[in-house]
Chain A
């Protein structure tokens, strides 16, 4: 005689999608015996009314639920006594589906600058061109496309690669004309860094040109403080003194003012001057930006200010923004900000220096048509001998259109 055991009968799963059932009618009473196959109760699923049969002979001891009760699959509905084996009574099967990996919320890493440009801007290069560029180590942002809608095609990459084997001719190829092979010295703007010029500087270096971009006093790795404009100009003067050949001086924004003044005092050290989105060329400036930068404490504040610079600036990686904010929170630039502008009014003048310099030295000015810091209208204040260009960028043309900037900087007009 086999042993009699008490079992808790669970609510069966009678359909793949069944999660619950409603008890309809018990067909046996407590104390009543049943045979294998006898229906024990009727229950309702969302689809139909179903009988649940006994899987072995036994006796109902106790009903745990009653008519009308809604019961989850697997929950106990009765206690029975049986000497048969009632195995595998519809337990809730373990899900065999692999757990979905949570989607990563952060943007893909390794998105190169050129990819960002492609995302942010128009479609730029064919798949074939991209592959050739990848294999040849060419930064696509330096190419101008000759294909449909201005896109870069394979032949554009191939000519660039060929031309690159000879540094001088490569730069000439880029500029379609005579170039100035002399060293370039880049001066960044207020609250910026020498590394703002990195794209241009590195590409020029690759073409065999010497190019440097130091940090101004009060900025980056330059430990000296800059409490006045004069201190910056003096610093640049001493940098120029160390040059063994005349340099092509390129200054941006406030750096353009510093460059113009320093160049004026050391004309023999200069082969040419290019000012990019120059400060001091008109009455207005975006004062909130200037003073905001000088007093920024958090990455959040900084992001809002950076967005004023243009599309590329808002794509800076978060850790770079964080680093900048830390630097600015030190407050080294406060005095300088006050020297440059009071409210929205510029306190410095670059025009006089440009006018004087352009008598002997080629001077070029580049303004961004969408510049929100320095109004593009300041182009009308340029002295007649300064060759002036408008480019379709914001306040950072060397970020927004590096290829174009490089060409304008290098070309001898």
Chain B
């Protein structure tokens, strides 16, 4: 039942492994919340995916090495599920040199080309068309890889989603569009943002294979994703909407003033992590004591990420001008250097 290398779930992983992945995401996100409250995160824009773990884990368990993906601003869980090192993630979230992007990207621009993460995006919908391009590269290069775009229900208001789905269907690209529908785009509930909230219907209209699945059961998500991703690999681009409930407000630990108490508490009862845990115990697949031990070990692992992030050093000032262009190109001239030259006494 243990995971394969790089924290990726082993093939044919059962519920226990899905649960373990989800618990890692849940615990990591809770630590991210803590680091924010302690004032150690870089900036105040942190978007936690608590309550959406089944979407990330269910879909990612069907991806292979070499597949690529982009995420939205609520994508920590997806990255973790693809095998990211949580310590390096936390360091990036804290804006430290040891982070995945040397402290320049933070939570919302985290990326790792090695794991196929083409980047998280702070622009709603901003990362979607890139997978069309990746699909073209796969097609032309005859590579057996799929490219997935993860986004929220809020992005269904962006034209770029439709331009991209249209192109993907037209050219039969090996791509999948994954909509994590947590019912809210910022503070606006989906039925207040669109007249037709049955999102997969729009994808069908463009000619994609499309489904909606309830995110409460991670196994349902995994099954739906398996089918659609297999189809995408064969040149049938797909769309999957996963219905979840976002446990906190738009950012960090807001207690959303725009959701009423009843809705909130009902939503919190649809906790996919708890559901999986309960099922494991009820079906006799895992003993509670073993689950407790697993949870505790994960807690220790994630606690260590906080120390790693907090103790990490800031990026050097000299790195500020690096990576605007390729390494062999001259860096932009700092204003100070220019002004000193202009105002120098002869």
- Point out the residue from B44, B254, B310 that lies within 8 Å of A16, measured CB to CB: B44
Least CB distance, A41 to chain B, in whole angstroms = 11
For A13, A50, A55, A91, the residue with the greatest tally of chain B CB atoms inside 10 Å of its CB is A50
Tell me the complex Cα distance, A48–B248, Å.
12
B40, closest chain A residue (CB): A88
Q: How many residues of B contact A (CB 8 A)?
A: 18
Which residues of chain A are within 8 angstroms of B310 by Cβ–Cβ distance? 88
- Point out the residue from B34, B39, B254 that lies within 8 Å of A93, measured CB to CB: B39
Which residues of chain A are within 8 angstroms of B36 by Cβ–Cβ distance? 14
> With contacts A15-B44, A16-B44, A37-B30 known, is A49 near B39, CB below 8 A?
no
Which residues of chain A are within 8 angstroms of B39 by Cβ–Cβ distance? 12-13, 88, 90-91, 93
**A55:B255 contact, CB within 8 angstroms:** no
**B253:A53 contact, CB within 8 angstroms:** yes
Tell me the complex Cα distance, A195–B199, Å.
91
Least CB distance, A115 to chain B, in whole angstroms = 15
Least CB distance, B38 to chain A, in whole angstroms = 5
Q: Which of A6-41 touch B at CB < 8 Å?
A: 12-16, 37
Tell me the complex Cα distance, A52–B43, Å.
18
- Point out the residue from B38, B43, B44, B253 that lies within 8 Å of A55, measured CB to CB: B38
Which residues of chain A are within 8 angstroms of B254 by Cβ–Cβ distance? 48-50
Tell me the complex Cα distance, A200–B249, Å.
79
Least CB distance, A137 to chain B, in whole angstroms = 14
Q: Is B37 an interface residue (CB 8 A)?
A: yes
Bits for B228-247, please: 1 = Cβ < 8 Å to A, else 0.
00000000000000000000
Q: Is A198 an interface residue (CB 8 A)?
A: no
Q: Which of A177-209 touch B at CB < 8 Å?
A: none
Tell me the complex Cα distance, A48–B249, Å.
9
Binding site for A on B (CB under 8 A): 30, 33-34, 36-40, 43-44, 249, 252-257, 310
Q: Could you tell me the dominant secondary structure of chain B's interface residues?
A: loop
Known A-B contacts: A14-B36, A50-B253. Give 6 more (CB < 8 A): A14-B252, A16-B44, A48-B256, A51-B255, A89-B38, A93-B39
Which residues of chain A are within 8 angstroms of B38 by Cβ–Cβ distance? 12, 55, 88-90
> With contacts A16-B43, A16-B44, A37-B30 known, is A90 near B255, CB below 8 A?
no
| 29 A-B pairs (CB sep. < 8 Å) | A12-B38, A12-B39, A14-B36, A14-B253, A16-B43, A16-B44, A37-B30, A42-B255, A48-B255, A48-B256, A49-B254, A49-B255, A50-B252, A50-B254, A51-B253, A51-B255, A53-B33, A53-B34, A53-B37, A55-B37, A55-B38, A88-B38, A88-B39, A88-B40, A88-B310, A89-B37, A89-B38, A90-B37, A91-B39
Which residues of chain A are within 8 angstroms of B37 by Cβ–Cβ distance? 12, 14, 52-53, 55, 89-90
Tell me the complex Cα distance, A170–B203, Å.
90
For B38, B40, B310, the residue with the greatest tally of chain A CB atoms inside 10 Å of its CB is B38
Binding site for B on A (CB under 8 A): 12-16, 37, 42, 48-53, 55, 88-91, 93
Least CB distance, B103 to chain A, in whole angstroms = 15
Which residues of chain A are within 8 angstroms of B257 by Cβ–Cβ distance? 48-49
Which residues of chain B are within 8 angstroms of A89 by Cβ–Cβ distance? 37-38
Tell me the complex Cα distance, A89–B34, Å.
9
Tell me the complex Cα distance, A55–B38, Å.
9
For A52, A90, A91, the residue with the greatest tally of chain B CB atoms inside 10 Å of its CB is A90
Tell me the complex Cα distance, A16–B256, Å.
19
Tell me the complex Cα distance, A55–B303, Å.
11
Which residues of chain A are within 8 angstroms of B44 by Cβ–Cβ distance? 15-16
Least CB distance, A54 to chain B, in whole angstroms = 10
Least CB distance, B251 to chain A, in whole angstroms = 9
Least CB distance, B260 to chain A, in whole angstroms = 13
Which residues of chain B are within 8 angstroms of A16 by Cβ–Cβ distance? 43-44
Tell me the complex Cα distance, A89–B35, Å.
9
For A15, A16, A52, A88, the residue with the greatest tally of chain B CB atoms inside 10 Å of its CB is A88
Least CB distance, B46 to chain A, in whole angstroms = 11
Which residues of chain B are within 8 angstroms of A42 by Cβ–Cβ distance? 255
Tell me the complex Cα distance, A91–B44, Å.
16
Which residues of chain A are within 8 angstroms of B43 by Cβ–Cβ distance? 16
Tell me the complex Cα distance, A15–B36, Å.
9
Which residues of chain B are within 8 angstroms of A37 by Cβ–Cβ distance? 30
- Point out the residue from B30, B34, B40, B255 that lies within 8 Å of A50, measured CB to CB: B255
**A55:B34 contact, CB within 8 angstroms:** yes
For B39, B44, B249, the residue with the greatest tally of chain A CB atoms inside 10 Å of its CB is B39
Which residues of chain B are within 8 angstroms of A13 by Cβ–Cβ distance? 39
Least CB distance, B300 to chain A, in whole angstroms = 13
B258, closest chain A residue (CB): A48
Tell me the complex Cα distance, A53–B38, Å.
11
For B36, B37, B43, the residue with the greatest tally of chain A CB atoms inside 10 Å of its CB is B37
Tell me the complex Cα distance, A19–B40, Å.
17
Which residues of chain A are within 8 angstroms of B34 by Cβ–Cβ distance? 53, 55
Which residues of chain B are within 8 angstroms of A12 by Cβ–Cβ distance? 37-39
Which residues of chain B are within 8 angstroms of A55 by Cβ–Cβ distance? 34, 37-38
Tell me the complex Cα distance, A48–B44, Å.
13
A73, closest chain B residue (CB): B39
Least CB distance, A241 to chain B, in whole angstroms = 50
Tell me the complex Cα distance, A88–B38, Å.
6
Tell me the complex Cα distance, A321–B38, Å.
61
A15, closest chain B residue (CB): B44
Tell me the complex Cα distance, A22–B257, Å.
15
Tell me the complex Cα distance, A310–B153, Å.
75
Least CB distance, B90 to chain A, in whole angstroms = 14
Which residues of chain A are within 8 angstroms of B30 by Cβ–Cβ distance? 37
B37, closest chain A residue (CB): A12
Which residues of chain A are within 8 angstroms of B255 by Cβ–Cβ distance? 42, 48-51
List of 9 A-B pairs having minimum Cβ-Cβ separation, nearest first: A90-B39, A88-B38, A49-B255, A48-B254, A16-B44, A15-B44, A51-B255, A13-B39, A49-B257
Which residues of chain B are within 8 angstroms of A48 by Cβ–Cβ distance? 249, 254-257
